[in-house]
Amino acid sequence: MSRSRFRGAVAAAVVAGLALLLIVVATAGDVYAPLGTADPGPWVTFGFAIVRFTAVAAGAGCAGGLAFAAFVAPGRRDGKLTAESFAAVRFAAGSAACWLAAAIAAVPLSTAAASGLPLGTLLGNGALLSTIGATEEPKAWLCVVAVAAVVTALTWPAMAWRTTVLALAVSLAGLLAPVVIGHASVGAGHDFATGALVWHVPAASVWLGALFAFLAHLRRGAPDELVLRRYHRLSRICFVVVLISGAVGGLMTARPDGLMSRYGLLLAVEVVLLAAAGAILAAARGVAPRRVAVVELLLLMLAAGGSVGLTVLVPPSFVNDPATVQGTILGYELPDPPSWLRFLTDWRPDLIIGTIAVLACVLYVLGVRRLRRRGDAWSTGRTVAWLLGWLIVLIATSSGLGTYSPGTFSLHMVTHMGLNMYGPVLLVLGGPVTLALRALPARSGVPGAREWLVDLLHAPVTRFLAHPAVAAILFAGSFYALYFSDLFGQAMLFHWSHELMRLHFLITGYLFAWVVVGTDRTPRRIPHLARLGVLFAVMPFHAFFGVIVMSKQTVIAATYYHYLALPWAGDLLADQRLGGGIAWASGEIPLVVVVVALLVQWSRDDERRAKRTDRTGEADFDAYNAMLAQLAERGR
């Protein structure tokens, strides 16, 4: 295939995806009346669809190009970008600039679509800023503008692998902003739908963007065997994630009774396109990579057009299953009071943290098995600690306790303690980084997963977060900043912010426990006495927090709990005092465990140091005797 035909095939794939989107929009009918808004006119409807398609394609090109540069193209031992990585980063930089332009255009268009006002009217009467403040989607696009601007600034001068990974992480956050406040975040079951899309959108974007970068790699010459192998591995992982998460999210938004609607039929077309792309990936061996990649691109661009079309259509769940107040906020109902039986039986999986917990356990067990198959030992206690830690996290987020925790402050505080203190203490005792460094193969040439992990552990941001003062402030200060301001009440109103709060609890708790008592070595070597001092410095702040909560005369997040209006919740202030008592009392147990573990580690380190000293002393004594023997022999 010549270069001109190659470019024409890529352009045709993009046009095909856009054409499918325009057909969906043209045949959708009135999509505003079911939402209770007026029709802003065809310029807004079609314009916003085209701009959103451009943003989806450009955002995917940015994220996928960065993923290709960081984890597919061959790297260098010194952390600098190779020629292939640099070319992918430059492609990502251009995509980020297009993404920024599309996001800027999406702000007024999304405002007009949400308010039902024609774009000229919205801009002419100066109501744009006030309307943005009253709607959620324009705010999300403003976040995309900020993210795209940051990624553009990072990628244009990027010459290092760490910068590429940082830009990739930021870009993935920007991709999620319009998704978590879209149609999937509305109505009953939106916790499942939002959780599924949090996995679906980044995986689909990386798949599509990495394909663009792979095609550019093929255009420059024959494919490198390492690049080909890594790209297929990345694409197949993305395919599995996209297919499973898309099916879950689609079932939540379409519902069984809406599968024969226009929304359900378009969703079925999406599944067929993605399944066909996955089948091509599975049969890619032995076929010309360029031709396979072009067909794969055509299917994925059609799928991208269909996915944007789904955002235009009204989900059947919104029309056929109107949500109550509890369903709107939580995604489900809590009509009955909590009980021990419901804690054990009313499981509602958290598709974000729960999935992370299961994957972390599976990968850990696979690492242990690899070590033992080659004859290396691994502590059973570490394995048990890791699995128990994730079990606590799973119970706190996905069991009946996690289901009921948004209903009352006291139950929320129980899950907070599990995520922030009990789970992390056990997780850091599992030594996952040490296991990964021992289980992953070391490469002498092109860096691989083990070298990437070592590089991230020694990155400046990791060294900053691993500083004892920073870890302590993030751990203890989060309590005061979250609960003694409006942040907690606002975070509980939206599923995405609730999940972000849970992740914050888990990450800050793990970071603090890692610095104080972690089995894995931190970037900063901290004496045991200093660790003990950090622990004792933080303990009073935790106790004071519980006392302050028990003493407060006003209800924290009162508006949120009044919105829920649970008939069994009872006195909110009394329940809040119970929550403060739980925070004060239950927080002491993991701190005692940390102290004991720290003292045991201290004792073992002293024993190892003493043995090393003894061995060194014996060697010095033997050398001294040998020197005397030589002198005596020389004298004779």
Q: What is the pLDDT of residues 423-470, one digit of tens each?
A: 998 999 899 999 999 998 887 778 888 889 988 988 889 999 988 889
Averaged confidence pLDDT in the chain:
86
Mean pLDDT of 382-393: 95
**pLDDT recorded at residue 326:** 85
Banded model confidence at residue 2, pLDDT cuts 50, 70, 90: low
Q: pLDDT (tens digit, 9 = 90+) per residue, 146-187?
A: 999 999 999 998 889 999 999 999 999 999 999 888 777 777
Task: Show the 3-state SS of 459-521.
Answer: CHHHHHHCCHHHHHHHHHHHHHHHHCCCHHHHHHCCHHHHHHHHHHHHHHHHHHHHHHHCCCC
| pLDDT greater at residue 542 or residue 601 | 542
Cα–Cα dist 537/554, whole Å: 29
Q: Between 605 and 625, where is the model more confident?
A: 605
Interatomic CA distance for residues 137 and 154, integer angstroms: 26
Among 82, 88, 87, CA closest to 66: 88
- In angstroms, the first-to-last Cα distance of the chain is 88
Give the pLDDT score at 50: 93
pLDDT tops 80 at residue 272:
yes
User: With 80 as the cut, is the pLDDT of residue 245 above it?
Assistant: yes
- Residue 383: which pLDDT band, with cuts at 50, 70 and 90? very high
Percent of the chain with pLDDT over 70: 91
Confidence of residue 621 (pLDDT cuts 50, 70, 90): very low
The DSSP secondary-structure symbol of 373 reads H
Position 301 scores a pLDDT of 92
From CA 81, how far away is CA 76, in angstroms rounded? 7
pLDDT of residue 415: 94
The residues that bridge with 160 in the sheet, in sequence order, are 80
- pLDDT, tens digit, for every residue of 51-98? 999 999 999 999 999 999 999 998 888 888 888 899 999 999 999 999
What's the confidence (pLDDT) of residue 363?
95
Q: What is the pLDDT of residue 633?
A: 67
Measured distance CA(162)–CA(79) in Å, rounded: 7
The pLDDT tens digits for 33-56 are 777 788 888 888 899 999 999 999
The tokens for 575 are: 């329940």
pLDDT at 258 (0 to 100): 65
Q: What is the CB neighbour count within 10 angstroms for residue 559?
A: 12
pTM: 0.89
Round to whole Å and give the CA distance between 514 and 469. Answer: 13
Q: Dump pLDDT digits (tens) for 506-559.
A: 999 999 989 888 788 888 777 777 777 887 788 888 788 888 999 888 999 999
Report in angstroms the alpha-carbon separations of 318 from 34, 35, 102, 262, 335.
Answer: 9, 9, 28, 14, 21
Which residues lie closer than 8 Å to 230 by C-beta, 6 or more apart? 71, 72
Instruction: Write the DSSP symbol of residue 522.
Output: P
Q: 202 falls in which pLDDT band (50, 70, 90)?
A: very high
DSSP alpha helices (H): ranges in 116-189?
A: 119-124, 128-134, 137-155, 161-180
Looking at residues 181-210, what average pLDDT do you find? 88
Q: Looking at residue 362, what is its pLDDT?
A: 96
Helix axes 495-517, 353-373, angle to 10 degrees: 40
